[in-house]
Amino acid sequence: MKTTLVIMAAGLGSRYGGNKQTEGIGPNHEMLMEYSIFDAVRAGFSKFVFVIKPEMQPLIEALCGELVKSCKTPDGEAVSVFYALQDFSSLPSGYTVPQGRVKPFGTVHAVLCAQPYVQEPFAVVNADDYYGVDAFVSMNRCLQALSDGEAAMVGYYLKNTVSENGTVTRGICSHQDGLLTRVTETYKIQPFADGTIRDTASSADGVVLDPEALVSMNFWGYLPSIFDAMNAYFSDFLSHAAPDNIKAECLLPVMVDDLMKKNALRVHVLSTTATWFGITYPQDKPFVQAALKKLHDTGIYPATLLS
């Protein structure tokens, strides 16, 4: 069965201070999304949809889009590439964008922008995260078996997703018998000198979190039937968001949690040996560069990826 990977690359990366989606991080200046593409192709994904800002399309095409088209899955299937533009033109008619708003409307909106290009089971990832080889294998296998009303998520340990250089936002997950039961979007997580990881949103001392807790890093798997619920959820978000809120975002983990509470979605938590890493702050970059170089040196990746 054909499967699609939707790559969300339209975020502004305000804490990083630049366009980290297209920065060369690997030993040969590979972008992080190139690793996701390479891993997804060898896991069997044969369609890729880049969700981007309109002005990014020529750059993404030049950097990796055209090269992706030359790839083939292990079964010899040719790979196709599409570009979905995330801008305000795709918002429902009658909605007025708050004055001064620049940011896109979040990850739910990003996936909805890809809807015209997706007719098969699909996974969603961030462009600026590294998810690991095994994660794509597990997700592609799960997508083949999903039924209507089901979805999937690759979870990563909280302790492996924090930054020593500032706070991060993570969807902290509860799960039972292989199914997700709750996602709590937590906005100011950081490690402390005593070895604890804490949520500092309500106080400087923070609330201690379980380092072994699973978190969502926006690696989701869905069937196309999710778009009906997603459109309804996004429309409801826009109708209730404060008219003067120029930063409100409609987020996939929050949507999934809402659908689960309504018994409208069962989400499988996928078991994987993969390790996540990514860049939130400029100071995170040396660690990620060293980790990627090691993966090349040990043969997980060839000398060059999309060539």
Could you read off the pLDDT of 247-275 as tens digits, one per residue?
889 999 999 999 999 999 999 999 777 78
- The verdict on pTM exceeding 0.85 is yes
For residue range 79-115, what is the model confidence (pLDDT) as tens digits? Answer: 999 999 999 988 888 888 888 888 889 999 999 999 9
Tokens 């043969």 label which residue? 299
Domain-embedded: residue 306: no
Domain-embedded: residue 302: no
Residue 213 CA: distances (Å) to CA of 23, 175, 184, 199:
30, 10, 11, 13
Domain-embedded: residue 233: yes
Using 50, 70 and 90 to split pLDDT, how confident is the model at 20? low
Q: What pLDDT shows up at residue 296?
A: 96
For residue range 30-83, what is the model confidence (pLDDT) as tens digits? Answer: 989 999 999 999 999 999 999 999 988 988 888 888 878 888 999 999 999 999
Query: What residues make up the domain containing 158?
Result: 4-297
Q: What pLDDT shows up at residue 64?
A: 82
Domain count, the chain: 1
For residue range 167-177, what is the model confidence (pLDDT) as tens digits? Answer: 999 999 999 99
- Asked if 190 and 163 count as a contact pair (C-beta separation under 8 A), the reply is yes
Residue 14 has pLDDT above 60, yes or no: no
**Residue partners of 171: CB distance under 8 A and separation at least 6:** 183, 184, 185, 186, 215, 216, 251, 253, 254
Domain-embedded: residue 242: yes
Residue 242 has pLDDT above 80, yes or no: no
Domain-embedded: residue 282: yes
Q: What is the CATH number of the domain that holds 97?
A: 3.90.550.10
Q: What pLDDT shows up at residue 275?
A: 83
The tokens describing 250, both together, are: 């409609």
Domain-embedded: residue 303: no
Average pLDDT, the chain: 91
Residue 15 has pLDDT above 70, yes or no: no
Q: What pLDDT shows up at residue 279?
A: 86
Domain-embedded: residue 130: yes
Q: What pLDDT shows up at residue 307?
A: 61
Q: What pLDDT shows up at residue 16?
A: 39
The tokens describing 290, both together, are: 């060293």
Q: What integer is the mean pLDDT of 112-119?
A: 97
Using 50, 70 and 90 to split pLDDT, how confident is the model at 19? low
Q: What integer is the mean pLDDT of 138-153?
A: 97
- Asked if 253 and 185 count as a contact pair (C-beta separation under 8 A), the reply is yes
Residue 191 CA: distances (Å) to CA of 159, 199, 203, 289:
9, 9, 14, 21
Domain-embedded: residue 166: yes
Task: Return the biggest CA–CA distance within the chain.
Answer: 54
Q: What pLDDT shows up at residue 10?
A: 86
Burial of 159 (0-12, 13-18, 19+ CB in 10 A): middle
Q: What pLDDT shows up at residue 198?
A: 97
